[in-house]
Amino acid sequence: MTDQTSDTESSSEFVDTAADDELARLVEETVNALLKAVRSRQTYVAGNPLIEKFYSELCVKLAATWQELPDVSLEIDEGRLLWRDREVYSKPVAPDNFAFRFFKDGIRQLALLPGVEEGELAEFIELFARSRPAHDDDLLATLWHRDFKAVRIDYVDIMEDDGSEVPRPDRNAGAGDTLEDMTEIEAVLESGTVTEEAPDEFSDIALGEPDLLYLKREMEVEWARPIVHDVTLALLDQFEMRDQERRRQVVDILRELLPRLLAELDFSNVALIVNELQLLANKTGENETQELVTSLLRDMSEAMAEMVSVVDAEGLSPGTDELAALVGALQAEAIPTLVRAIPAVPNRQTRDRLAEALDRLVESNPGYVVDLLSAEDPMLAAEAARIVGRIGLHEAEPYLVELSNRPEDVTRQAAIEALAILGSSVGAEALSTALSDPGRDIRIAAVKSIVAVRPEGASALLAEIIGGSDSADRDQGEQMAFMRAYAVLAGDEAVPLLAKVLNGRRWWGGRRAPVTRACAARALGVVGSPTARSALEKAASDKAAPVKSAVRVALKSFNNDSDERLEAAVLPEDDERALVDDPLDLDIEIEDTTGKEGSS
């Protein structure tokens, strides 16, 4: 074992007395204070007052120590700390033994010097507390790299000391022997004294002020060098100028490097890599290279999409060009991530770019989004359904139908809406079923869809629901949606039922609830036929204000042509509030209105 440094000097040379119990006790107390400070840092989270308390106590101890000693220099044994051969700390050897933590890494001496309290002590405690013996953290390397000025260590080479003998210099080698070959020496002696050098003999190597400035600048440039960027450039050079085998090696490295760069939010280099690789792949025109690059981008797509989305939420979005490069490089593997993440991306620019990328990817890789319709995550499946609808992916209809049967409202609604947009007969049955869905929003979505798809038998089904006994349990918005849809689909054939709702009496003589009747009135307005007018006129002087008002508006709509009426009946896409808008001054509280049936 060899000492590697010697700048830690035992303080023993400063004190002549060999054993001084009082001083040893002082050092022991200081060591104990140090241990408490370390343990408090290990035990409590930063900011805890106990950390400050124990640290202050340590500083007090050190201040007292500096009155007596020039330093605290401790020899480190396996489980003990010694000061001038006196034990000042001893515990059974264990991973958490303070001395052992140093010893196991080869540290054999630890010295604290005056001034350590001015910053380095706190950092030393922090480093020690953070080092994890279980993770094989190297305390020596940690302390060495920190290069404290007032905390000094001596260490031995434990890692390489395998007991083998290191050759020792032979200082007396050949002493007494005479050199066998004297030719050179004799020649030198013959030629006499060497002429003194000319003063300017070494002017070519003198370092002048400009040289020193150059070196200083070069060092500044080196420490500021974008080393990751330059490594990236080197890898890309290798990819470009070497053979397929090298390209494969580079791609293998990039497969490891890219996630690391993403994790470090180094979008600039990620963008550079994906851009350049795509350009190079196209430039070579070789299928093998293109496949290599594509395979890498496929592997990276999910991570890239994830990082772009996640960091955007932290306000750390990539720059415009970087974003374009990243998004442009995304492959189908990014679809699930994009589908999940886009709705949560707060930055509109980022969100739009990601959405564009998603549409591009889905159009050429519809299978991915269809697969997502079966995703366990209801939000993901619902989002996939919306995308399917948006891009008109008819092949997804069977999966949408399945989705419309899932227990989560969000998935069923999204499925229904998508089926509506697709408007094909495959989904008609599902739409019809959805009219009786337990979820109110889903029923409304379904009825909207029915209007769009017009499946066979839909008007009969709507009539059954409107005339059914539980119709009045639905709120005004829903009733309005159903009746208007019925009016649109059945036309004049809807008049008998709607007229019955508006004007009819129940067996006990009571009418339906005013809100229900008002909805019927509006629906009759949509029909716009003479029979509808006739039904409306019967209710023109109804005592219920909502009914009277609705009838007035409906009759007024007879002045519009039929297209305008139908247009008015088309249900707004996203806002069912419009369905229950109250142009008739019905004083209906939208959220609270239940339209429960009652007598009048």
Partner 1 sequence: MMSSQHPGTGILSAMYGAVRALQLYPLENEVVKRGLVEVKEQADSILKLEGGLSIWVAGNYMFVNDLQVKLDLHDYASLSAFREVLRSHGVGRMEASPKSSAEDWQAFLTLIAADPEPGQPPLEALQAELQKNGVSRISVGPPSAMFEGSDAQQSAEAARHTYTRSVKVARDMMEGLVLGKAIGARRAERAVLAVVDQVLQEPATMLGMLTLRDFDDHSYVHSVNVAILSVALGDYLGFNREQLFELGFAALFHDIGKVLIPPAVLNKMGWLNDEEWRLVSQHPDFGLLMMFSVEGSEDLPYRAMLAVYEHHMKPDLSGYPRVIRRRRQGLFARIIALTEAYDAAISNYSKQFLPCSPDEAIRQLREAETGAYDAVITRAFVNMMGIFPVATLVILDTGEMGVVVAPNPNPKSLSRPLVRIIANSDGERVGDGPIRDLTERDPETNQYRRSIARSTDPERYGISVADHVA
Q: Which of residues 519-548 bind partner 1 (CB under 8 A)?
A: none
CB of 167 to partner 1, least distance (A): 5
What whole-number distance in Å separates Cα of residue 337 and Cα of residue 322? 19
| CB contact burial 246-266 (16+ within 10 A = b; e otherwise) | ebeebbeebeebbbebbeeeb
41 token code pair: 């840092």
CB of 348 to partner 1, least distance (A): 34
Per-position x/- string for 30-69, each x denoting binding to partner 1 as judged by CB under 8 A, each - no binding: ----------------------------------------
Residues 351 and 216: their CA atoms lie apart, in Å, by 46
Q: How far is the CB of 322 from partner 1 (least distance, A)?
A: 18
Question: Which residues sit opposite 74 in a β-bridge?
Answer: 110
Phi, psi (deg, nearest 5) at residue 111: -130, 130
Displacement of CA 396 from its chain's centroid (Å): 30
Rounded to the nearest angstrom, the gap between the alpha carbon of residue 212 and the centroid of all alpha carbons in its chain is 47
Query: Per CB under 8 A, which region of 142-150, 326-334, 351-359, 498-506 contacts partner 1?
Result: 142-150
- 9-28 binders of partner 1 (CB under 8 A): 9
C-alpha closest to that of 24 among 115, 108, 90, 79: 90
Q: Give the residue with the Cβ less far from partner 1, 230 or 352.
A: 230
Cβ–Cβ under 8 Å, residues 502 and 547: yes
Kindly tell me which of 174 and 509 has the beta carbon lying closer to partner 1: 174
Nearer to partner 1, 236 or 431 (CB): 236
| Neighbour tally for 541: CB within 10 Å | 9
How many CB atoms sit inside 10 A of residue 503's CB?
Answer: 18
> Which range, of 75-83, 233-241, 298-306, 505-513, touches partner 1 by CB under 8 A?
233-241
Stretch 380-439 residues interacting with partner 1 (CB under 8 A): none
Residue 106 and residue 152 in contact, taking contact as beta carbons nearer than 8 Å: no
- For residue 150, the Cα-to-chain-centroid distance in whole angstroms is 41
Between 165 and 376, CB nearer to partner 1: 165
CB closer to partner 1, 293 vs 382: 293
**What is the per-residue binding string for partner 1 in 92-131, x denoting contact by CB under 8 A?**
---------------------x-x----------------
Residue 570 Cβ vs partner 1, minimum distance, rounded to whole Å: 58
Nearer to partner 1, 264 or 356 (CB): 264
- Give least dist CB 9 to partner 1, A: 5
Question: Looking only at residues 169 through 208 of this chain, which bind partner 1 when binding is defined by CB under 8 A?
Answer: 169-182, 184-185, 188-189, 191-194, 196-197, 201-202, 204-207
Q: What angle do CA 538, 542, 545 make, to 5 degrees?
A: 140
CB of 412 to partner 1, least distance (A): 48
When the beta carbons of 19 and 221 are compared against partner 1, the nearer one is 221
Please identify, among the stretches 54-62, 123-131, 133-141, 316-324, the one whose residues bind partner 1 according to the rule CB under 8 A.
Answer: 133-141
Angle (CA) 419-421-424 rounded to 5° is 60
Tracing tokens 């004190």 back to the chain, one arrives at 15
Q: Pick out residues in 211-230 that bind partner 1 (CB under 8 A).
A: 211-212, 214-216, 218-223, 225, 227-228, 230
Closer residue to partner 1 (CB): 16 or 190: 190
Scan for tokens 């519809």, then name that residue: 366
Among 25, 53, 130, 149, binds partner 1 (CB under 8 A): 149
Report the alpha-carbon distance of residue 596 to residue 592 in Å, rounded. 11
The residues pairing with 75 across neighbouring beta strands, listed in sequence order, are 82, 109
Of 15 and 228, which CB lies nearer to partner 1 in the complex structure? Answer: 228
Residues in contact with partner 1, shown as a per-residue x/- string from 304 to 333 under the rule CB under 8 A: ------------------------------
* Site size with partner 1, rule: CB under 8 A: 88
CB of 135 to partner 1, least distance (A): 11
> Is the CB of 249 or the CB of 365 nearer to partner 1?
249
CA-CA distance, 145 to 295, in Å (whole number)? 40
Under rule CB under 8 A, which residues in 240-299 are in contact with partner 1? 240-242, 246, 249-250, 253, 256-257, 260
- By CB under 8 A, is residue 235 in contact with partner 1? yes
Strands (E), 223-304: none
Q: What number of CA atoms fall less than 13 Å from residue 452's CA on the CB side?
A: 20
Distance of CA 511 to the CA centre of its chain: 59
165 Ramachandran zone, left/alpha/beta (phi>0; psi -120 to 50):
beta
Distance CA 475, CA 576 (A): 12
> Helix, strand or coil for residue 346?
coil
Question: Could you say which DSSP state residue 494 is in?
Answer: G
CB of 173 to partner 1, least distance (A): 6
Residue placing its CB nearer to partner 1 in the complex, 140 or 523: 140
